Amino acid sequence: MILIGVFFICFLIFLMLFFYKKSQNIFNPMSYIILFFLIRNTMFLLKVCSNPDSMNSYLPVIITDPDLLLLKYFLFQTIFFSVFSGSYCIFAQKRLLYYTVNIKSRNDSESIYIIRNILYLSFIFSLITFMLYFFKVGSLYEIINNFAYRTEHIDDNIFIQLSVRLAPLVLFSALYLYIKKQIKYITFIMYSLYVVISLLGFGSRTLAFTPILGGFVIWSILTGNAKIKTFKKFLLPTICLFPFLIIVSDLRKPQKVDLLFSEPVEYFLSIFEDDSSESFVAEQLSSVRTSLFILNHYNEYNMWYGKSIIDLLYAPIPRKFFANKPPVDTGRYITAAAIGQDFQPPTPLSKLPPYGWPPGSMELGYINFGLFGIMLIGILHGFILSYICNKCIMKIEIKTFFYIVIYFYAIQLFNLTNSGLFTFLTRVATFYILYKFSSFFINKKRYFIQ
């Protein structure tokens, strides 16, 4: 199994390097997506391959033939990535497939004012919404105690949703202005710290880490440094952030919150004494556990056959107007199945567990239509991703900042799961409205910042 796991990882590395060598751009959509998958899953895959029986300690059911389940996982992932990358190559324009990043904006004098407006507007509104949340909760203890219920708080509070969508734009616009020498380094650092701290305040690793990844992409595109060797510049900041991600994950346990405030020294020692780091890599950083459970649990008798689309249609309706609204995150159904409640869409959120194991595109394709669903979703994902990125690359020299952000959202957030589609569309819509609002004052010669 170790040998098969190594072959699978080498296959993905080969795909990643193929697209990288063609474009000399590690942030080429396919190179980036595959690299992100490898960073998240390689450690746990090798761990499980070295002892397949150990997956019984990570899954809520007993696996009688763990070797067969691992073989099924490697086979279906290989099929998905082959179809996905093949679809991308067929539909991507040659310029996108072989694109070397070296952007120089044609509208710098205009875009600088727009980006300044975006920076100040997104900072002011995200700060106001975060402070409203802070004062509503009442204390730092309660904020941290809410980490365990972060999904409900975000879903039910429109102010939190607005803060979550605007805060990354603070970092993106500040970085753009810093690279263009419009703000000082210390100013950029202060804005960046605000973004990370405010988003960590909602208890989500993904919310806090995504703007940092976006910063890497924007910096690389604007400076033309998108080769693998430039990754050493990102290594130290990433390592420094890793302990904070572990701590945020650990504080989702109410007993750990009490320990932090009563015995802070003992709490920090406990992080290194228990299995927090291992649990973070195995169960939270990696998506392998979710994939293995899905491949083991679902078959022709309990597949969804496209019913997950119904939940997506309900997604735009505010929950306060529709009490029985089903979840946007299909991962809630997976955790329900894991505890013996095999619900299918659409099911009211109130009947489902308060947390989810979110599936990826491959897993959702399998849940709906088995192997055919995996191939279908791979084709669609490759086609749509190439279409979006084609448009961004074709227009990126005209509206540099706008299309860089859309490009990043496409390679980072877009997938064909309900939560992936909803997150991508809402982030793009928020950014589009803010950009147009900022541009309006430029066109009327009414600048927020002269």
Q: How far apart are CA 425 and CA 316, in angstroms?
A: 11
Per-residue model confidence (pLDDT) at position 233: 65
Q: How far apart are CA 409 and CA 384, in angstroms?
A: 13
Q: How far apart are CA 105 and CA 100, in angstroms?
A: 15
Q: How far apart are CA 399 and CA 425, in angstroms?
A: 20
Q: Which two tokens stand for residue 305?
A: 């056959």
The neighbour count for residue 124, using CB atoms within 10 Å, is: 12
Q: How far apart are CA 107 and CA 96, in angstroms?
A: 22
Per-residue model confidence (pLDDT) at position 156: 61
Asked whether the beta carbons of 155 and 319 are under 8 A apart, the reply is: yes
Digit-by-digit pLDDT tens for the chain (450 residues) are 999 999 999 999 999 999 888 877 888 899 999 998 998 899 889 889 999 988 888 888 888 899 999 999 999 999 999 999 999 988 887 666 555 545 554 555 557 888 999 999 999 988 888 888 777 776 776 677 666 565 655 666 666 777 788 999 999 999 999 988 899 999 999 999 899 888 887 766 777 788 888 998 888 888 877 777 766 666 666 666 666 667 766 666 666 766 777 777 776 666 655 555 555 555 567 888 899 999 999 988 889 998 888 888 887 777 767 778 888 888 889 989 988 888 888 888 888 887 778 899 999 999 999 999 999 999 999 999 999 998 888 888 778 899 999 999 999 999 999 888 988 999 999 999 999 888 876 655 544 444
Per-residue model confidence (pLDDT) at position 25: 81
Beta carbons within 8 Å of 132's beta carbon, 6+ residues apart: 159
**What pTM was estimated for this model as a whole?**
0.87
Q: Which two tokens stand for residue 120?
A: 């100040």
Asked whether the beta carbons of 352 and 340 are under 8 A apart, the reply is: no
Q: Which two tokens stand for residue 34?
A: 């595959």
CA 407 to chain centre: 14
Q: How far apart are CA 197 and CA 185, in angstroms?
A: 18
Name the residue with tokens 């029986």. 53
Spell 207-232 as b/e; 16+ CB within 10 A means b: bbbbbbbbbbbbbbbbeeebeeeeee
- Report the greatest alpha carbon distance in the chain: 70
Q: How far apart are CA 349 and CA 337, in angstroms?
A: 14
Torsion, CA 330, CA 331, CA 333, CA 336, rounded to 10: -170
Distances (CA, A) of 232 to 2, 225, 274: 29, 12, 31
Per-residue model confidence (pLDDT) at position 405: 94
Residue 348, preceding bond cis, omega within 30 degrees?
no
Beta carbons within 8 Å of 6's beta carbon, 6+ residues apart: 46, 49
**What is the secondary structure of 7-63 as a DSSP string?**
HHHHHHHHHHHHHHHHHT-TTSHHHHHHHHHHHHHHHHHHHHHH-GGGGGGTSSS--
CA 14 to chain centre: 23
Consecutive H or E run containing 90: helix 66-91
Q: How many CA atoms lie within 13 A of 47 on its CB side?
A: 18
Q: What is the DSSP letter of 351?
A: G
